[in-house]
Chains A and B, each alone.
Chain A
């Protein structure tokens, strides 16, 4: 057998290729002057590869719809919106790099996007250093609008506090006070756990089991066998994405779904579609839904058009993720238009506290004190097989919870969150 060695010729080839790449890579750093010079660029950071690729794609669809709608109307102050997309790979480090690249190189007027809270917090920090706006469309951790809040950061999706309190109150009324938790063992899971504990502290009740499962657990049997011994009134499942699918599928195999009611703070359409109808059950928090008067409001033309147009363009109904993207960019564009400027401080001031209607029921506003979007949080019962002719119609929305009733109060937020506007 010939031993592979690094000889001179091979070395020269590799070194040559490397330096060629370096040389040809350089022009990328020269700003492309002239190319759509008058467009307003918005940087979109989403995890296009990896476990959250699905939600990332849906949020992007929402952003595209909002951008196209504004561009059709002539753009912001007569300037078109141009989305510059970057794959943040669900990695806080990569996301920070890409955020800098978008701001320094592409000269974007604001950053939007993210799915995982860790990434949202990382981008929020970088954006704050650079003095750029960041609209967190999809990362739920309380900290984004809590102890890590910044003047330049706004969040569209609900906080974990809102999710847990909305579903906690609704589920306790229906099923009783002995709860069993299946918690993902990382920051997001722990903040959900804290939220539900707070509900129990207010209304009474007990935790009869709390299984901390590592992220990416494939076999849940070890945790599930403990449920029978604990005899809970309700099993609350906090795990997300593929872990959610695995967990519910196995609960069904062990016959647990027939014995115990199940529910959780949030479920998205994406993982539900990955489950067989036999394992689709329970009451879950819903952040937006395309087919209910409770979520869209009565005769809400904007919402109806949004749903119809999404189905036409992408071949399937929009999910909450599509809605996050749409609402986020639509509000940002409105604020720039109102402020007649892309100056971050002026735009931020034009976003906060302004009441608006959009593709959901009622009106909402980004709260002045913490920049959290205050919109209702819904709870739905799952229809395992959808409705006739619509396999996506899996939610029967039952409860609406007003944002103010389920989010921490202004006083609670002011104790931890200091926005720190420049010069303030």
Chain B
């Protein structure tokens, strides 16, 4: 049993990185506009299917990894503009219901376009093998995933802290009305912010398609752990989403090792403990949950 702990920890980190990047997208959108985007998983699946279609048409995997999320962002902008924006002024409940409905429609649309069964989407041959990590053989594609996700997270951090636009975005999270009064076009802020979230989801979607499977429901399977991640990390905190994601990933992989039947439940137990001890989440702002 002991010899499995090292590899399991690593598996947990890969899984955690996924949850973290999905949760980051959710947090971005939630923080600025209060929208709980239930359709986030659908955007992941969409990007996955787009990348699959591109690779079928001989587009190199690397390009598909960038282009597919960008097309998903285009769809995201249209959705934000036409469906989500009119609901910003209402309670979060409305946009939650709307995006939930959207995710159901998207699932059936994927079924109509790409068929009800999963499709074969494999990583390129260069990433298909296994590499030695010293203590174990580990799939090259998983190592690649960790690297890509780390780059994406670092780029997001730089964007938010080092660019003028990023600073405006963070300021708007704190006080949208003041930012608007100071002459910033908040509608553009909303759109860019939504796009950023979708772009992160898109990258995760393409990578998940290659590592796990790609079917009409595959994105939604990653959505629930991502919501749990946001709550554990603390609403309002992007850093919290990263830490929360890794914690959830490790919790799931460790319970799988010792009590497999409890693997699904372990993240909820973790969430319950965090909420009992620290209701606002690990890095959350005070006042959201008390």
Contact = CB atoms under 8 A, between A and B. Distances in A.
A266 interface: no
A255 interface: yes
A185 interface: yes
A275 B263 CA distance: 25
A274 B215 contact: yes
Given A223-B260, A245-B118, A274-B117, A51 B217 contact: yes
Please classify how large the interface on chain A is, using the bins under 10, 10 to 19, 20 to 34, 35 or more. Answer: 35 or more
A278 B139 CA distance: 14
Contact of A274 (B3, B119, B252): B119
Contacts of A213: 260
A277 B128 CA distance: 13
A202 B136 CA distance: 37
Interface in A235-262: 242, 245-246, 249-250, 253-255
Given A242-B215, A250-B212, A185 B261 contact: yes
Candidate in B108, B118, B214 with the most chain A CB atoms within 10 angstroms: B118
B264 interface: yes
Interface string B183-194: 000000000000
A271 B118 CA distance: 6
Given A222-B8, A275-B120, A254 B256 contact: no
B130 interface: yes
Contact of A222 (B136, B214, B257, B261): B257
B4 interface: yes
B211 A274 contact: no
B229 to A, nearest CB: 15
A225 B137 CA distance: 10
A152 to B, nearest CB: 30
A211 B116 CA distance: 28
B166 interface: no
A212 interface: yes
A222 B221 contact: no
Contacts of B212: 218-219, 246, 249-250
A253 B120 CA distance: 14
Interface in B207-249: 208, 211-215, 217-218, 221-222
A255 B137 contact: yes
Interface string A41-61: 000000001010110010000
Interface in A202-238: 211-214, 216-219, 221-223, 225-226, 229
A238 to B, nearest CB: 14
Contacts of B264: 214
B15 interface: yes
Contact of A276 (B117, B122, B211, B221): B122
A87 to B, nearest CB: 11
A170 to B, nearest CB: 26
A225 B7 contact: yes
B164 interface: no
Given A214-B261, A214-B263, A219 B120 contact: no
Please classify how large the interface on chain B is, using the bins under 10, 10 to 19, 20 to 34, 35 or more. Answer: 35 or more
B221 A253 contact: no
A273 interface: yes
Contact of A54 (B15, B117, B128, B253): B117
B90 interface: yes
Contacts of A53: 111, 116
Contacts of B58: none
Given A4-B90, A212-B260, A274-B213, A218 B221 contact: yes
Nearest to A3: B91
A2 interface: yes
B89 interface: yes
A270 B208 CA distance: 20
Nearest to B136: A225
A23 interface: no
Contacts of A250: 139, 211-212
A2 B137 CA distance: 58
B141 interface: yes
B49 to A, nearest CB: 12
Contact of B253 (A222, A242, A253): A222
A285 B8 CA distance: 32
A1 interface: yes
Nearest to B221: A218
Contacts of B115: 54
A274 B120 contact: yes
Contacts of A221: 11, 14-15, 142, 253
A262 to B, nearest CB: 17
Contacts of B130: 253-255
Contacts of B89: 1-2, 4
A230 to B, nearest CB: 11
Contacts of B129: 255
Contacts of B8: 222, 225
12 contacts: A4-B94, A51-B215, A216-B221, A218-B213, A223-B256, A229-B4, A249-B211, A249-B213, A253-B128, A274-B215, A276-B120, A277-B120
Which 6 interchain pairs have the tightest Cβ spacing?
A: A274-B118, A222-B256, A53-B116, A276-B122, A253-B139, A54-B116
Interface of A: 1-2, 4, 49, 51, 53-54, 57, 185, 211-214, 216-219, 221-223, 225-226, 229, 242, 245-246, 249-250, 253-255, 270-271, 273-279
